[in-house]
Amino acid sequence: MVCSEELECVICYCVYSRSEHIPRVLHCRHTFCSVCLEKLASQRGVVRTVCCPLCRWVTCTNASLSLPGALWVNTDIWDRISEEQLEEKSLDLDLDPQKLKKHM
């Protein structure tokens, strides 16, 4: 079981979401939100590096890829977001709940 604490980014304490604070996994398997990862990332020539603040492992990605394209989404957390937050989010985004159900 994933405990509820893991649904928050340990850096900014924001709850993960599908639009802004997307949970992404570094190569060391630690998960942070996409906003913090953008801040952690630094580009060195053709390589973008992200140093994990928890274990200091340096994840290298291809700088020609965007960070979202280079790192995997934490699907465990992503699935939980869809269950727990989509209804609230749909109000903000002005989505038709009927369409949303068909889409899923």
Binding site for Zn ion (CB under 5 A): 9, 11-12, 28, 30, 33, 36, 52, 54-55, 57
- Closer to Zn ion by Cβ: residue 28 or 100: 28
- Closer to Zn ion by Cβ: residue 30 or 89: 30
Taking the complex as a whole, how short is the minimal distance between the CB of residue 86 and Zn ion, in angstroms?
20
- Closer to Zn ion by Cβ: residue 41 or 52: 52
Match 């965007």 to its residue by tokens: 66
Instruction: Please tell me the distance from the alpha carbon of residue 104 to that of residue 13, in angstroms, as a whole number.
Output: 29
Taking the complex as a whole, how short is the minimal distance between the CB of residue 16 and Zn ion, in angstroms?
8
Q: How many residues does the chain have?
A: 104
Check: CB of residue 18 under 8 Å from CB of residue 89.
yes
Signed CA dihedral, 74, 53, 67, 61: sign only: negative
- Closer to Zn ion by Cβ: residue 15 or 100: 15
Taking the complex as a whole, how short is the minimal distance between the CB of residue 56 and Zn ion, in angstroms?
7
Taking the complex as a whole, how short is the minimal distance between the CB of residue 52 and Zn ion, in angstroms?
3
- CB proximity list for 74: less than 8 A, separation 6 or greater: 16, 23, 24, 25, 31
